Structure 1
Amino acid sequence: MHLSIGTGVRIAFALVGISLLSASSARADAAGAAACAGKLDKPSRLIYDATAQTAVSSGDLRDLVASKTRSLVMSGQLPRAGAREAAEAAGRCLVLLRQ
């Protein structure tokens, strides 16, 4: 099979276009997550901030949020009362980072 140079160039431009679309989608999701996080109350924001950096690459987001929340409660940075609700609110914003 013979491909002309023009075909290769068109394929390269198509691939660049696809990667640019993917990059802009990722930025939009990060922006959405940041906007969501900006609306969180203080305990939820504490969980979000503690989790956001590893949320993108972590396997199970629910386990990660639970672990970070537990750690914050045990260290006295987050009161136990309301921790579950705060974690759920933070989790809704963290999901946006993974889309």
Structure 2
Amino acid sequence: MEALVAIGIAALTAGGVFLLLRGRTFPVLLGLTLLSYAVNFFIFAMGRLTLAAPPRIVEGVFEYADPLPQALVLTAIVISFGMTAFLAALAVWSRLASGTDHVDGAPTDEDSG
């Protein structure tokens, strides 16, 4: 189970870094989103994956789920959604202002044709 979680986190991180290194704004935006998913998955897994364990103290139960990683991930999801919406609007504005969606603003062969 731990190996599967580690492979999933590694795949999300690798895909996010790969897309961050692209020259267009939309793949960069997707790369940031994948990286935020990888970090959320990592934080969630750090809280130990337990099945059918209550997150609060109950008589007769000796194993508990840690609610802190769940709260952190929920907060991170909300923040990353807002940042993604802001970056998407910024990318659209940049495309309209510069005439290209290349991250450094330089026109490419695809833009001129």
Q: TM-score, normalised by structure 1?
A: 0.34
Higher relative contact order (Cα pairs below 8 Å, separated by 6+ residues): 1
Q: TM-score, normalised by structure 2?
A: 0.31
